[in-house]
A and B are shown apart, each in its own frame.
Chain A
Amino acid sequence: MQAFDALLTGFGSALQPLTLMWGFAGCLIGTLVGVLPGISPALTIALLLPLTYQVPATSMFVMFAGIYYGAAYGGSTTSILLNTPGESGSVVTALEGNKMARRGRAGQALATAAIGSFVAGTIGTLALTFFAPWVVEAALAFGPAEYFSLMVLSLVAVSAVLGSSVLRGLLSLTAGLLCGLVGIDLQTGQPRFTFGRAELLDGLEVTVVAVGLFAVGEALYLAWQGRESRSGEVMKLTGSLRLSRQDWARSWKPWIRGSLFGFPIGALPAGGAELPTMLSYYTEKKLSKHPEEFGHGAIEGVAGPEAANNAAAAGVLMPLLTLGIPTSATAAIMLSAFEGYGIQTGPQLFSQQGALVWTLIASLYIGNVILLVLNLPLVNLWVRLLKIPPPWLYAGIIVISTAGVYGAGNSVFNVGLLFFFGLIGFLMRRFDFPAAPLIVGMILAPMAEQSMRQALTISQGDWFTFFTRPLSGSLMAVAIVLLMLPPLVRRLRRPGARS
């Protein structure tokens, strides 16, 4: 009941015209970002970080949430009409959605994706509203040792579980941790990894690293390949945007099931959107009365995964808002925005910044409605955006990236770092290193070091404190299992292992 009252207050604040305007702008930008391949919500939020000096925190986070949800909505348009997922969570949508478009049912595919996203986004936000206070209550029992173990768990999960190789995931993570430790040590004032450069004393800017990896790295890789200039075929918008009675009957259960997959998996460290969308797709294929349509444009194969994708987006906000733990690159950059405002994340966020958090959650409900209204009527505009020739699209992305980084401090050195991290992003893309562990590691490194120091000070230097405290020990045990399990499973699966 307390959560409900707080939510109503949040609605009061989120419905203020100015806040509503920021939310609308976020939804519009987010949909744009989701539609256009090559731009991710993480990159967009990173580029907008310099705005934190000018805009009040509530307005900024309402906009960020709009971008985050909007990108999850917009990704489906590219998947369905271009067969090129704008976001990783929309990969599965492309399987059936594009086939539906080829059969003249693009309108119905877009409609089931948009309405499913709305249903899932609302279910996810409801779950966030009512479960978050419970998690906060449990997290209040956390001391520095538990926090350190939780961070280790989420770092291990992001690196070892996602991606195709534990080794490459861990290498990306250690590189991120190293980046996070650059600059003056806050406790002792000693410079670390600065190579004698004064520009590095304040540490590496998250914007520079994230934009370098995601925007410049991606552009370098695509330019190097030379295939992007030969644009893909954009399908015509065929079929009605209204669902028939049969389409509704075949869609509503996948929407609900997709939401139930998406939210809890999204809330887990390393859950992400890929796993629930995949699970939803295979579940729908199994449960469908028309399994023969799968692979040829089954509406359930669009409805379920799209719902799972959007519910996962709400799920990712759960550990971020309640524990201060980012489980995706976008969440990590949002966390750094909280830091930019001097707001301490974690369970204290709900008590110290209750107004902000509940306005943010209320704006998610409002954002869902805005996105439903935006997505379907404006679909022709989104289709036109898909026809922007790649040279101008990427010229725009790199110029806006350079402007964003240069504008943050008028530093040419940072622009140099942007292209340096772009080269690193290019190599990571080419040699299949995941980028998310680097970003999450970079942002969590100083926080993890701080918690470790506090825990060791309390325990008078006893390292076993991380293993002997019940909660901390359990988290460490899960982290160790997550680290060991994937290689073990792979070894057991190898042919000849059983013999």
Chain B
Amino acid sequence: MTPLRLAVLLLAIAAAAIWQVTVIPESLMQMTVGPVLAPAVVVVGLAVLALLYGVSAWRGRQVDVSHAPDQTPLPGSGRRLASLLGGGAVFMALVGPLGFVLPAALCGMGVARAFDAPLGWRSALVCGAIAAVFWLVFAQLLGIGLGPALRWPF
């Protein structure tokens, strides 16, 4: 990813937002300002600013913090990102069938792996404990609906 590619992404988001503005149904109520004006102004602003950002990036005036000497990523950055996001994906896929604790522990293991902790029993135990403690505090103590700690699919 470079600032120029980011500008393209911003323009794509602006284009999607413009399309969404065009599909806002007109209100049947008689009013000075309808539901379209504010979104339209914001979206046009976003498109113009994204364009300006693109021009500025093309001229090499936009920054990528990771190019600073002490900020460059160490080798394996893609794998670490995938581990963290994978943990989130596993949680989303399993929280329905398995309850909270097991998917949250697996999510935690993915995150720990992203910070170079080896996948193993130690990681499973620590993340399992973290998930169980949070479930107890949130669901039991504070009454927030996290669903059951464990749900057996069979």
Chain A residues close to B by CB (< 8 Å) = 50-51, 54, 164, 167-168, 170-171, 174-175, 177-178, 181, 185, 187-195, 216, 219-220, 222-229, 389-392, 394-396, 398-400, 402-404, 406-408, 410, 412, 415-416, 418-419, 422-423, 427, 429-432, 445, 449, 452-453, 456-457, 460-461
Contact = CB atoms under 8 A, between A and B. Distances in A.
Interface-central residue, B20, B27, B146, by most chain A CB under 10 Å: B20
A167 B111 contact: no
Contact of A220 (B53, B81, B135): B81
Contact of B134 (A400, A419, A449, A452): A400
A175 B143 CA distance: 34
A188 B111 contact: no
Given A178-B17, A192-B35, A395 B108 contact: yes
A98 to B, nearest CB: 17
B74 to A, nearest CB: 4
A70 to B, nearest CB: 18
Contacts, number: 214
Contact of B92 (A222, A400, A412): A412
Contacts of B69: none
Contacts of B127: 395, 399
Interface of B: 1, 3, 6, 10, 17, 20-21, 24-27, 29, 31-35, 38-39, 42-43, 45-46, 49-50, 52-53, 56, 62-66, 70-77, 80-81, 83-85, 87-89, 91-92, 95-96, 100, 104, 107-109, 111-117, 123, 126-127, 130-131, 134-135, 138-139, 142-147
Contact of B32 (A174, A228, A429, A460): A460
A222 B114 CA distance: 9
B116 A226 contact: yes
Given A178-B43, A427-B6, A185 B53 contact: no
Q: Which 3 A-B pairs have the closest CB atoms?
A: A391-B117, A226-B74, A188-B27
Nearest to B114: A223
A406 B83 contact: no
A174 to B, nearest CB: 4
Nearest to A184: B35
A333 B88 CA distance: 24
B150 to A, nearest CB: 15
Contacts of B116: 226, 229, 391
A399 B131 contact: yes
A412 B80 contact: no
Given A399-B104, A402-B107, A456-B33, A431 B3 contact: yes
Contacts of A456: 32-33
B49 A171 contact: yes
Nearest to A446: B38
A216 B117 CA distance: 18
Contact of A407 (B64, B89, B144): B144
Contacts of B6: 427, 431
A410 to B, nearest CB: 6
Contacts of B10: 171
A430 B64 contact: yes
A177 B145 CA distance: 30
Contacts of B76: 226
B134 A223 contact: no
A223 B24 contact: no
A167 B64 contact: no
B73 A226 contact: yes
A404 B142 CA distance: 11
A427 B1 contact: yes
B112 A391 contact: yes
13 contacts: A167-B49, A194-B20, A219-B84, A224-B80, A225-B71, A225-B77, A394-B114, A395-B130, A398-B87, A400-B134, A402-B104, A406-B146, A410-B146
B115 A415 contact: no
A174 B45 contact: yes
A377 B131 CA distance: 30
Contacts of B64: 430-431
Contact of A195 (B20, B123, B134): B20
A216 B66 CA distance: 18
A232 B21 CA distance: 49
Nearest to A427: B6
B147 A410 contact: yes
Given A187-B31, A402-B91, A412-B92, A394 B111 contact: yes
B20 A193 contact: yes
B84 A407 contact: no
B84 A220 contact: yes
Contacts of B123: 391
Contacts of B17: 178, 193
B85 A419 contact: yes
Nearest to B45: A174
Given A193-B39, A223-B81, A395 B109 contact: yes
A73 B14 CA distance: 41
Contacts of B104: 399, 402-403
Given A174-B46, A394-B112, A398-B108, A188 B35 contact: yes
Given A50-B144, A432-B63, A392 B112 contact: yes
A178 B47 CA distance: 12
B146 to A, nearest CB: 5
Contacts of B43: 178
A226 B80 contact: yes
A402 B146 CA distance: 10
A69 B107 CA distance: 32
Contacts of A452: 33, 38
A69 to B, nearest CB: 22
